Chain A
């Protein structure tokens, strides 16, 4: 079976390193980006199956990236989990409005996040 590819886009290095480590242990192929511009480039080039996306990043914010992922035919199938410190109702609503599949607030429960990743990727497989 093809190994699912996950992009972790976050400007906090500890989040990147921690999520990369635990997702690799789960058997996923993990790529990373530390700013919005780089995240968009990686998404176009590597076409991940799932993106874990921070909302506040340099150059491009997560809302814009999520919108672009879902607007492009090449990447629209990628599931997006927003992982953000933002906890206001309107931010959550806006994230879902631009196409996010799930929203997880920081500080986050790592095991719960992995379970959500697993669930979304298995759903994608069934749909594919």
Chain B
């Protein structure tokens, strides 16, 4: 009769090998049973949850979009086993809705005891439980959780602090947001960028709090607050930012100028024009950039003057600002080609070239309209006078239109072989 190899033979080694095979086989069998049972159990639990969700979801949706207490819409009393399913419905939905529905989710979460449950979890010894509780409380948006969350802002684990900050940002009341503005003052323990991001998402509510707290903030938190004003683009912050252009710290003045540009209120133009004469070049540079973003034309002559600034960044930003001003700005740049200030004239050429205005004017050398041709020739002659002939020389050799090549060659005093077009 056939026997497997481990049953053949005898002796202590054979018995040891046979025992080993049995032990390994039993371990594998037990593991297999545990894995299969676990999987089946998870499937059953999941199927039951799906079934419960299908049963409960319509009632909750009806509650969320109507008025009246939760009990009126439920098919039966909420059981203990329903709670994870209901909480999941609320969590999923609170990511995509706002307004009344969100408020109804908050009310139901309070009423069903979810908020109290997570407030208890917020005191857990395990940091991941505290982090999860903070996140859930943030999604529920219950004001009831505000003070517990504020206390948790001193949690030793950074991940918990970040989730608490995010939760407070979601609650969005002044009580919840005020500690976040204070968190800006603690760069050693907080990532200012993440807190700033949360305040930015909270929008105008955080602007109001930051305006109230601004004077109490230390230097680096003031800088963050100014950046937040600019990112939210809140008109409510314009008055303060205009005042800050006269602050004694150049970094604050520069950031305020940048933020005013982001907000884009044309009423801030006179203050930004004044900042073009600031003693710190970074402030002048940011003021020029900001003026380029405002929809107004009063600053054009001041930007032209800034083209002659000693600092390259100021000149470059002023030229870019003029280009952003549209036709009026481009005309001003063209007029600057006659400037006695060589810095200004050269910067104007640079911007006209970068923005494609010179290419456009070169095309006009072949225009049928004599006035247009003449205007283009005059600009080209100014470029020759400024010794900025790189583009013109290239076009004199390579432009596909023979008449343009010829006119440029004459202007530059080049001997270019006339070519046929195409």
Contacts and interface: CB of A to CB of B under 8 A. Distances in A.
Interface of A: 12, 14-15, 17-18, 21-22, 25, 106-112, 114
Contacts of A107: 95-98, 102
A18 B98 contact: no
Interface string B17-60: 00000000000000000000000000000000000000001100
A111 B99 contact: yes
Most chain B CB neighbours (cut-off 10 Å) among A14, A108, A109, A111: A14
Q: Is the interface of B mostly helix, strand, loop or mixed?
A: helix
Among A12, A15, A106, A107, chain B packs the most CB atoms within 10 A around the CB of A107
A17 B65 contact: no
B97 A110 contact: yes
A17 B57 contact: yes
Contact of A25 (B65, B89, B92): B65
B101 interface: yes
Interface string B83-116: 0000001001101111111100000000000000
Contacts of B89: 14
Contacts of B100: 109-111
B65 A111 contact: yes
Contact of A22 (B61, B92, B95, B99): B61
B65 A110 contact: yes
A9 to B, nearest CB: 15
Contact of A14 (B65, B93, B98, B102): B93
Contacts of B72: none
A55 to B, nearest CB: 14
Interface in B305-321: none
A22 to B, nearest CB: 5
Top 5 closest A-B pairs, CB basis?
A: A109-B99, A21-B61, A14-B92, A107-B98, A110-B101
B318 to A, nearest CB: 26
18 contacts: A14-B92, A18-B61, A18-B93, A21-B61, A21-B62, A22-B65, A107-B95, A107-B97, A107-B102, A108-B98, A109-B98, A109-B100, A110-B65, A110-B99, A111-B65, A111-B99, A111-B101, A114-B65
Contacts of B99: 109-112
Nearest to B58: A21
Nearest to B61: A21
A50 B240 CA distance: 47
Given A110-B101, A111-B65, A12 B57 contact: no
Nearest to A105: B98
Contacts of A114: 65
A109 B64 CA distance: 11
A57 B252 CA distance: 44
Contacts of B101: 109-111
Given A110-B101, A111-B101, A14 B96 contact: yes
Given A18-B93, A25-B65, A110-B99, 13 more contacts: A14-B89, A14-B92, A17-B61, A18-B61, A21-B61, A21-B62, A22-B65, A107-B97, A107-B98, A108-B98, A109-B98, A109-B99, A110-B100
A12 B92 CA distance: 10
A109 B96 CA distance: 9
B58 A106 contact: no
A112 B92 CA distance: 20
A17 B93 CA distance: 10
B349 to A, nearest CB: 31
Nearest to A109: B99
B263 to A, nearest CB: 15
A114 B100 CA distance: 13
Query: Among A18, A21, A22, which residue has the most Cβ atoms of chain B within 10 A?
Result: A18
B86 to A, nearest CB: 14
Contacts of A14: 89, 92-93, 95-96
Contacts of B96: 12, 14-15, 18, 106-108
Contacts of A110: 64-65, 97, 99-101
Contacts of B62: 21, 25
A110 B65 CA distance: 8
Q: Name the residue in B57, B64, B92, B97 with the highest tally of chain A Cβ atoms < 10 Å from its Cβ.
A: B97
A112 B99 CA distance: 9
Interface string B292-331: 0000000000000000000000000000000000000000
Nearest to A111: B100
A74 to B, nearest CB: 31
Nearest to A13: B92
Contacts of A22: 61, 65
Nearest to B92: A14
- Pick from A22, A107, A110, A111 the residue with the most CB of B within 10 Å: A110
A62 to B, nearest CB: 16
A18 B101 CA distance: 11
